[in-house]
Amino acid sequence: MKYARRVVITGMGTVNPLGHNVEDTWSAMMEGKLAPSVNELFDASTFPTKFAAQVKDFDLAGHIPADVAAGHSTAGRHCQFALGAAWEAWQQSGLAQFDELDKTRTGVYLGSGEGSLDFENYIGCLVDAFNTEERSLDTDVWPVLAEERMDLHREVEQESNMVVSHLASMLGVTGPAFNVLTACAASTQAIGEAVMQIRYGWADTIVTGGAHSMIHPLGVTGFNRLTALSQRNDDIATASRPFDLTRDGFVLGEGASILILETYEQAVARGATILGEIVGYGASADAYRITDQDPEGMGAAASMAAALNDADLAPKDIDYISAHGTATKQNDKIETKAIKVAFGEEAPNTPISSAKSMIGHLIAAAGATELITCLLAIRDQILPPTANMQEADPECDLDYIPNAPRKADVTRCMSNSMGFGGQNNTLIVSKCDS
């Protein structure tokens, strides 16, 4: 083995637009259910994109004990998703009943985004200030309105590291605590770096993954201005079309996915069920443009190659690739090029799909959610499809598992994430051999 300490996964949990737990999410994916619907979180009727992939009818008190939920009453929307997902993962791992767990060597490492509370306050202040008789932000009305609207909890909760703090508090763990926000690559990077923490002995157990909700006016406005969102308002359900010729952008989603990582030795010693082993991690930067990927896919290819090297594997050893697959015009054809560069002659033989076709794009939480689908593919020996593939794109000419799940022999999966700014991160998860 390249590393003295192997890293395994013993728990997983998720709250997302397709389901409020892992099994409901997986069943929905296998049935081909689609998450996009008319935006109900705010009035988007005047926006170019009037829909999103929303988490509906989620109640934190229904997912964790009421007394525990009461201690997190100030938590923001995305943080509540993370608390629910973390509770599911923690219970599955069996660590809640493991009296010998050293909580000083149990950490939290997340990729979570900024909260929406401060954005809401800011917009509210602007609206209220404009509606005063003076209609000017140069008067004393602005600080007065801000003071009335802002309070300590709302100001603090919008910070991106607050999710880490809430999870550490809920679980009572006092080891290393980190948050990384590298856009759409964030949770994949967090998981990869959490693996390194355990490999090199800085922690024995880490709660990792991601959480995000950007379905608010500023989030939608920003992505619309970037022309990144689908505007298929007349066909909302099938708006997310990764690798399809008619794709016109991604569907903005929200949610959280959490995994429990620990040393192989600890998991075996306590009799835990091992869901998979993370055997490879790779990262790279495009060093190209802030909002555009390297058009030849060299950065993404380098990330995949680094993960293969870390795992001591060849492309032929990978049974499935969970693509970043956003359904933007550029991303999908660049990721196709990158896979061809990294996998060479094996690229046409490797099944690929995008969970975003069904679940939407969960931004910072996307990578962790997609890694969970890899674990389930290994468990059930079935590959999730790329939904809504209606017309082949000649520039996206690999095996994208169109429209229906596929039975397969699945031992090792690769999961790709690529973020604005040129961040690329890749994980390889394998069935755990003794």
Active-site residues, by number, are 184, 324, 361
Contact in structure between 160 and 177 (CB atoms under 8 Å): no
Per DSSP, 244 falls in state B
Contact in structure between 430 and 282 (CB atoms under 8 Å): no
Give DSSP secondary structure letters for 278-337.
EEEEEEEE--S-SSS--TT-HHHHHHHHHHHHHHT--GGG--EEE------HHHHHHHHH
Q: Could you tell me which of 115, 207, 134 has the C-alpha nearest to residue 169?
A: 207
Termini Cα distance of the chain: 12
Q: Could you tell me which of 163, 258, 282, 255 has the C-alpha nearest to residue 206?
A: 258
Tokens 């999103």 sit at which residue? 52
Give the Cα separation of 326 and 333 in Å (integer): 10
Q: Are strands 276-285 and 423-430 parallel, antiparallel or unpaired?
A: antiparallel
Give the Cα separation of 162 and 180 in Å (integer): 12
Q: Could you tell me which of 213, 275, 288 has the C-alpha nearest to residue 58?
A: 213
Residue 381, SS3 per DSSP: coil
Task: Write out the two tokens for 268.
Answer: 């075996």
Per DSSP, 431 falls in state P
**Torsion, CA 41, CA 47, CA 49, CA 51, rounded to 10:** 20
- Sequence-distant (≥ 6) Cβ neighbours of residue 97 within 8 angstroms: none
User: Phi, psi at residue 260, to the nearest 5°?
Assistant: -105, 120
User: Phi, psi at residue 54, to the nearest 5°?
Assistant: -105, 150
Give the Cα separation of 321 and 301 in Å (integer): 13
